[in-house]
Amino acid sequence: MGGIYGGYFPATYAGAVGAFGAFLIALSKRRITGKAMSEVLKEAAVTTSVIFIIVIGGILFARFLTYSGLVTTISKTILSLGGTKYMYLLGFIVLFLILGCFIEPIAIMVMTLPIMFPVMKESGFDPIWLGVVSVKLAEIGVLTPPVGLNVFVVRSSSPIPVTLGQVFAGVTPFIVLDFLSLVLYVIFPEMITWLPNLMSPN
């Protein structure tokens, strides 16, 4: 966090620095074995490969939509329906929440944002605000059943046996807080846009 706020490196590099620091701590405490190291590297390679495949597929999908003109056509069709900006926002939120119950957040973003972003921007929503709301919706998605990826991570890392029902019950208050913060973002968008607007030269 110090490196991010100090301007030494972006958030992605901060994750790598944190992982390397955790590796050094575990190494100094002699908690790393050759077998454990190979398993960690294997899992990291698999996870990274999956993410890259999703991102590459999303980029190709976005390029296809752009070059074929489908983004413009779909956006104009949606906007021609004559709904209000908050109707589009409600549809965007519902779509994200439904997909978040079954699909990984990265996959949701690369599939939906190339189409929805122009519509939402044309409706008058700030791009930075929309990005934060998208991340918040993805965060809710990884906590909700039936998939709830973060819930499975918590269950697998628990030192004592727990059921998925117990974990979902435990994260319910956090889901409620996420929804409350989402409502606040919609009612008071300045909570998100105030600082970027203050820093913007325009």
Q: What's the average model confidence in pLDDT over 135-148?
A: 82
Round the average pLDDT of the chain to a whole number and report it: 82
Judgement on whether residues 41 and 25 belong to the same structural domain of the protein: no
Q: Is the pLDDT of residue 58 over 90?
A: no
Q: Are residues 100 and 146 in the same domain?
A: yes
Asked if 73 and 131 sit in the same domain, the reply is yes
Residue 145 · residue 183 · CB < 8 Å: no
Distance CA 57, CA 167 (A): 32
CA pair distance 20, 92, nearest whole angstrom? 38
Element counts in the chain: helices (H) and strands (E): 10, 0
State the DSSP code for 101: T
| Parent domain of 185 | 34-199
Split into its structural domains, the chain has a count of 2
The H-assigned helical ranges of 29-148 are 34-68, 70-79, 85-100, 105-122, 127-141
- Pair (28, 75) in one structural domain: no
Mean pLDDT across the stretch 146-153? 74
Query: Lowest-confidence range among 31-45, 120-134, 147-161?
Result: 147-161
* CA-wise closest residue to 102 among 136, 140, 145: 145
φ, ψ of residue 145 to 5 degrees: the values are: -70, 165
Neighbouring residues of 47: CB distance < 8 A, sequence distance ≥ 6: none
Provide the 10 A C-beta neighbour count for residue 118: 17
Q: Which residue has 């301007």 as its token pair? A: 7
Are 47 and 140 contained in the same domain?
yes
Confidence tier at 201 by pLDDT (50, 70, 90): low
Least confident residue range of 78-82, 109-113, 162-166: 78-82
Where on the phi/psi map is residue 148: left (φ > 0), alpha (ψ -120 to 50), or beta? left
133 with 60, same domain: the answer is yes
Residues 39, 129, single domain; the answer is yes
Model confidence band, residue 64 (pLDDT cutoffs 50, 70, 90): confident
pLDDT score of 184: 94
Task: Assess whether 48 and 9 both reside in one domain.
Answer: no
Same domain (yes/no): 51, 72: yes
93 shares a domain with 4:
no
Q: Residues 28, 38: one domain?
A: no
